[in-house]
């Protein structure tokens, strides 16, 4: 086990290195540089700018620039934001928690829906309830999140006026109170459900086929012949075996949500990092864009690492490869 | 001598299993949803592509200040947008563009993914190792962010560059899928027999292995086509998809980012959304039927 984890972590080092080089190359290809982030006197002469560029090392050879950049990044320094007039890390710190809360809420809904639906569908396969659930997974599989989100926003946000249509919290409540917490939840309902109802179908399909496969296995027959009630056969025996691989996908699920946050947050005007990314690109605030790409890339690598480790803990056969 | 051996060993098989195309056709006919989907998709595509021939593309993109935000009428079936442009005609052109471009992306990713998968799976060893490391890496990248950044920083952005950028990230899943199938295929006797006979590798790959992974390729192609329509329109919706000169279904839906349009002018964005749903659902249903046709255990007929 430890050998597997060590090898898996070692694979991540070159991946991180390549990721940083790609992001650095993209940052260099973006218009503007560290100077455009500074507030400057508009009457400044081109010679003075060139002097400043020399001082900041922007005319150094690429590899020196890369080394300086990556050592700053390792310390969490991504430079200045041009639109927010503050450190990039401060801007991101403000937003990242909103996305984390929304993603957690979404993951909870995904699993809260997928587990009962998957088990019902697998247990009573080829009955009307299975057909209904399978129909839902087909439709959900073919529906893009942005269209579903828009229709949800149109119906429940505007037409029926049941939920807020943007933001994270109402301005009328004080921070720290219970009402504040409720208002936050209320603002997350539409974006979280829109993302979850679509993302859950993959888990449902997977769980269903696991249950269908498992219920014909010998250990289930043994359990039944010992006289264990049917409900317990499912809740204790089949569910445990079917659920382990699903739990392992949690890491991938979370990284998928970070990517999906771009669409969901834009539609529901939810100020997380997805929306920050889109506005920063539109405002050409490239220091923020670079930081977000680097951090999200790092987060996805970590998420995959986590999933791989859980998978190998659950299923020893993966380790032997 | 060799010729003699061949004539001796060929005995006519008693039971001919139905050919691939026949199985696929039978499966689609058995599955009511797939059959309806095929008909609907056929009608929509024929209607859209032939109607697009009669629409003056420049006239659709021209701003007309005298007819801004008109309600649906006999002249403008779905009203007009903020630039006074006919929404219905944009819908036709947009459907055609979105479908054609997604098809282009799918074909290109299929070619690259197929080649990479066949080579990695067949040769194994170091070749496989290198290709798989690249795939593992590209798959874990936050693809949407990278695509958006590339779309913004590339100076001369056209439809071709868009297709290439998308392909850069989307070939990996298919390559991995095909590689795993080829890995098990190359251990089978017919491949070993061919290798012993001295058949060149490229011939084994093209004439022996490729036909055996073809059903997987077809299924994956259909499902990817549907997925790419969703991805292209989502990117265009965010403003990072097709260039403005090429309207897509996502362009029409992007008007709904204006709450006024979303709430009171649903005829601008809803038809385009429904069109995407129709395209993706019907392609997916056909894909599911193909999937069953490719797996003898799941066939209905």
pLDDT in tens, A8-63: 888 888 888 899 988 888 888 877 655 555 555 566 677 777 777 776 666 677 78
Please give the DSSP secondary-structure letter assigned to residue A36.
G
What values do phi and psi take at A230, rounded to 5?
-55, -40
Residue B216: its pLDDT value, please? 84
Categorize the per-residue pLDDT at A309 as very low, low, confident or very high, splitting at 50, 70 and 90.
Answer: confident
Does the beta-carbon distance from A151 to B284 stay under 8 Å? no
Categorize the per-residue pLDDT at A317 as very low, low, confident or very high, splitting at 50, 70 and 90.
Answer: low
User: A316 or A22, which is more confident?
Assistant: A22
Q: Closest chain B residue to A283 measured between Cα atoms? A: B152
pLDDT at A231 exceeding the cut of 50: yes
Q: Closest Cα of chain B to A293: distance in Å?
A: 7
B106-124 pLDDT per residue, tens: 999 999 999 999 999 888 8
pLDDT at A1 exceeding the cut of 60: yes
The region that residue B84 occupies, defined by phi over 0 for left and psi between -120 and 50 for alpha, beta otherwise, is: left
A110-134 pLDDT per residue, tens: 989 988 898 888 888 888 999 899 8
Residue B75: its pLDDT value, please? 64
Q: Which of B88, B52, B92, B47 minimizes the C-alpha distance to B70?
A: B88
Cα A205 from Cα B288, distance rounded (Å): 13
Does the beta-carbon distance from A293 to B142 stay under 8 Å? yes
Q: Closest Cα of chain A to B182: distance in Å?
A: 17
Mean pLDDT of B215-231: 89
Q: Which of B278, B286, B287, B298 minimizes the C-alpha distance to B32?
A: B286
Q: Closest chain B residue to A155 measured between Cα atoms? A: B263
Of chain B, the end-to-end C-alpha distance in Å amounts to 44
pLDDT at A232 exceeding the cut of 60: yes
C-beta contacts of A39-48 below 8 A and 24+ residues apart: A39/A85
SS (H, E, C) chain B: CHHHHHHHHCCCCCCCCCCHHHHHHHHHHHCHHHHHHHHHHHHHHHHHHHHHHCCCHHHHHCCCHHHCCCCCCCCCCCCECCCCCEHHHHHHHHHHHHHHHHHHHHHHHHHHHHHHHHHHHHHCHHHHHHHHHHHHHHHHCCHHHHHHHHHHHCCCCCHHHHHHHHHHHHHHHHHHHHHHHHHHHCCCHHHHHHHHCCCCHHHHHHHHHHHHHHHHHHHHHHHHHHHHHHHHHHHHHHCCCCCCCCCCHHHHHHHHHCHHHHHHCHHHHHHHHHHHHHHHHHHHHHHHHHHHHHCCCCCCC
Taken in order of first residue, the domains within chain A and their CATH numbers are 96-314 (1.10.3720.10)
Residues from chain B that touch A281, judged by Cβ atoms under 8 A, are 148-149, 152, 240
Residue B283: its pLDDT value, please? 93
Buried b (16+ CB within 10 A) or exposed e, B23-56: bbebbbeebebbeebbeebeebeeebeebbeebe
| Domain ranges within chain B, ordered by starting residue | 12-58+87-293
CA-angle at A231, arms to A226 and A237, nearest 5°? 65
A287-299 pLDDT per residue, tens: 888 889 888 888 8
Q: Closest chain A residue to B228 measured between Cα atoms? A: A144
Does the beta-carbon distance from B238 to A266 stay under 8 Å? yes
Categorize the per-residue pLDDT at A227 as very low, low, confident or very high, splitting at 50, 70 and 90.
Answer: confident
Interface test with A, best of B98, B130, B141, B154 (most A CBs within 10 A): B141
Residues B174 and B121: beta-carbon distance below 8 Å: no
A200-216 pLDDT per residue, tens: 888 888 888 888 888 88
Mean pLDDT of A212-236: 84
Burial zone of A77 (CB within 10 Å; 0-12 exposed, 13-18 middle, 19+ buried): middle
Q: Closest Cα of chain A to B281: distance in Å?
A: 5
User: B272 or B71, which is more confident?
Assistant: B272
Spacing of C-alpha A319 from chain mean position:
26
Does the beta-carbon distance from B263 to A29 stay under 8 Å? no
In Å, what is the CA distance from A220 to each residue of A127, A210, A215, A229, A235?
A: 21, 13, 6, 11, 12
Does the beta-carbon distance from B284 to A296 stay under 8 Å? no
Residue B108: its pLDDT value, please? 95
- The dihedral over CA atoms of B173, A195, B149, B274, expressed in degrees to the nearest 10, equals 90
**Least CB-CB distance to A144: which of B146, B230, B259?**
B230
B285-300 pLDDT per residue, tens: 888 888 877 766 666 6
Per cent of chain A over pLDDT 70 is: 90
Categorize the per-residue pLDDT at B228 as very low, low, confident or very high, splitting at 50, 70 and 90.
Answer: very high
Residue B117: its pLDDT value, please? 92
Listing DSSP states for A188-255 in one string gives: HHHHHHHHHHHHHHHHHHHHHHHHHHHTTSHHHHHHHHTT--HHHIIIIIIHHHHHHHHHHTHHHHHH
pTM > 0.90:
no
Q: Is A87 helix (H, G, I), strand (E, B) or coil?
A: strand
Q: With a CB-CB cutoff of 8 Å, which residues 149-208 of chain A face chain B?
A: 150-151, 153-154, 158-159, 165
Categorize the per-residue pLDDT at B7 as very low, low, confident or very high, splitting at 50, 70 and 90.
Answer: very low
Burial zone of B87 (CB within 10 Å; 0-12 exposed, 13-18 middle, 19+ buried): buried
Does the beta-carbon distance from A144 to B233 stay under 8 Å? yes
Q: Which of A114, A25, A138 minimizes the C-alpha distance to B281?
A: A138
Residue B254: its pLDDT value, please? 87
Residue B3: its pLDDT value, please? 45
Span B12-58+87-293: which CATH code? 1.10.3720.10
Q: Closest Cα of chain B to A64: distance in Å?
A: 23
Interface test with B, best of A144, A160, A205, A279 (most B CBs within 10 A): A144
Residue B5: its pLDDT value, please? 45
What lies within 8 Å, CB to CB, of B243 at 6+ separation is B157, B158, B159, B162
Rg (CA), chain A: 25
Q: Closest chain B residue to A258 measured between Cα atoms? A: B142
Residues in B lying within 8 Å of A, measured between beta carbons: 137, 140-146, 148-150, 152-153, 226, 230-231, 233-234, 237-240, 253, 256-257, 259, 262-263, 266, 269, 273, 276-277, 280-281, 283-285, 288
pLDDT at B2 exceeding the cut of 50: no
Residues from chain B that touch A159, judged by Cβ atoms under 8 A, are 263
B148-206 pLDDT per residue, tens: 999 888 877 888 899 999 999 999 988 988 998 888 888 888 888 888 888 888 888 88
A250-260 pLDDT per residue, tens: 777 777 777 77
Q: Closest Cα of chain B to A178: distance in Å?
A: 30
**Least CB-CB distance to A301: which of B140, B153, B284?**
B140
Beta bridge partners of A80: A87
For A110-202, strand residue ranges (E) read none
Residues from chain B that touch A304, judged by Cβ atoms under 8 A, are 140
User: A176 or B268, which is more confident?
Assistant: B268
**Least CB-CB distance to B142: which of A138, A153, A297?**
A297
Please give the DSSP secondary-structure letter assigned to residue A174.
P
Mean pLDDT of chain B: 82
Residue A74: its pLDDT value, please? 81
Categorize the per-residue pLDDT at B4 as very low, low, confident or very high, splitting at 50, 70 and 90.
Answer: very low
């Amino acid at each position: 086990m430890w050998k597997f984890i060590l090898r898996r972590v070692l694979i991540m080092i070159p991946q991180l290195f390549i990721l940083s080089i790609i992001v650095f190359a993209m940052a260099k290809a973006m218009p503007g540089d560290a100077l455009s982030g500074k507030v400057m006197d508009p009457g400044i002469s081109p010679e003075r700018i060139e002097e400043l560029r020399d001082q900041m090392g922007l005319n150094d050879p690429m590899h020196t620039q890369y080394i300086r950049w990556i050592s700053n990044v390792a310390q969490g320094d991504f430079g200045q934001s041009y639109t927010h007039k503050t450190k990039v890390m401060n801007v991101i710190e403000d937003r990242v928690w909103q996305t984390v809360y929304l993603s957690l809420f979404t993951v909870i809904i995904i699993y809260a829906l997928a587990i009962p639906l998957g088990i019902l569908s697998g247990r009573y396969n080829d009955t009307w309830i299975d057909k209904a659930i399978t129909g839902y997974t087909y439709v959900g599989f073919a529906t893009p999140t942005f269209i579903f989100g828009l229709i949800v926003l149109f119906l429940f946000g505007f037409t029926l006026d049941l939920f807020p249509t943007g933001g994270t919290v109402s301005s009328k409540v004080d921070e720290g109170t219970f009402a504040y917490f409720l208002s936050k939840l209320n603002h997350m309902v539409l974006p979280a459900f829109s993302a979850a109802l679509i993302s859950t179908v993959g888990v449902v399909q997977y769980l269903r086929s696991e249950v269908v496969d498992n219920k014909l296995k010998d250990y289930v027959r043994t359990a039944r012949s010992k006289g264990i009630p049917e409900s317990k056969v499912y809740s204790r025996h089949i569910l445990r075996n079917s659920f382990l691989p699903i739990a392992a996908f949690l890491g991938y699920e979370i990284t998928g949500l970070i990517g999906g946050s771009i669409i969901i947050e834009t539609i529901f005007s939810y100020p997380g990092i997805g929306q920050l990314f889109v506005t920063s690109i539109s405002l050409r605030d490239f220091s923020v864009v670079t930081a977000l790409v680097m951090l999200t890339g790092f987060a996805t690598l970590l998420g995959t690492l986590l999933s791989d480790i859980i998978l190998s803990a659950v299923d020893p056969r993966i380790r032997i490869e | 001598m060799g010729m003699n051996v061949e004539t001796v060993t060929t005995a006519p098989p008693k039971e001919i299993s139905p050919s691939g195309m026949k199985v696929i056709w039978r499966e689609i006919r058995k599955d009511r949803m797939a059959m309806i989907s095929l008909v609907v998709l056929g009608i929509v595509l024929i209607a859209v592509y032939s109607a697009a021939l009669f629409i003056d593309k420049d006239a659709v993109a021209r701003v007309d200040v005298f007819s801004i935000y008109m309600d649906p009428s006999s002249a403008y079936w779905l009203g007009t947008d903020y630039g006074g442009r006919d929404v219905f005609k944009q819908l036709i052109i947009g459907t055609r563009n979105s479908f054609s471009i997604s098809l282009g992306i799918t074909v290109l990713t299929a070619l690259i993914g197929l080649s990479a998968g066949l080579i990695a799976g067949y040769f194994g060893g170091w070749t496989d190792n290198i290709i798989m490391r690249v795939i593992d890496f590209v798959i874990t990248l936050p693809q949407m962010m990278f695509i958006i950044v590339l779309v913004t920083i590339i100076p001369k952005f056209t439809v071709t560059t868009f297709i290439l950028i998308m392909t850069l990230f989307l070939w990996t899943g298919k390559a991995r899928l095909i590689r795993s199938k080829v890995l098990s295929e190359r251990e089978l006797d017919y491949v070993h027999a061919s290798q012993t006979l001295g058949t060149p590798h490229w011939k084994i790959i093209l004439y022996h292995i490729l036909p055996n992974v073809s059903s997987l390729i077809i299924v994956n192609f259909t499902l990817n086509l549907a997925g790419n329509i969703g991805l292209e329109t989502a990117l265009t919706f965010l403003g990072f998809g097709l260039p403005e000169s090429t309207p897509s279904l996502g362009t029409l839906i992007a008007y709904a980012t204006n709450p006024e349009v979303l709430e009171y002018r649903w005829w601008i964005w809803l038809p385009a959304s429904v069109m995407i749903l129709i395209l993706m659902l019907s392609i997916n249903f056909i894909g599911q039927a193909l999937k069953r046709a490719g797996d003898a255990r799941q066939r209905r007929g």
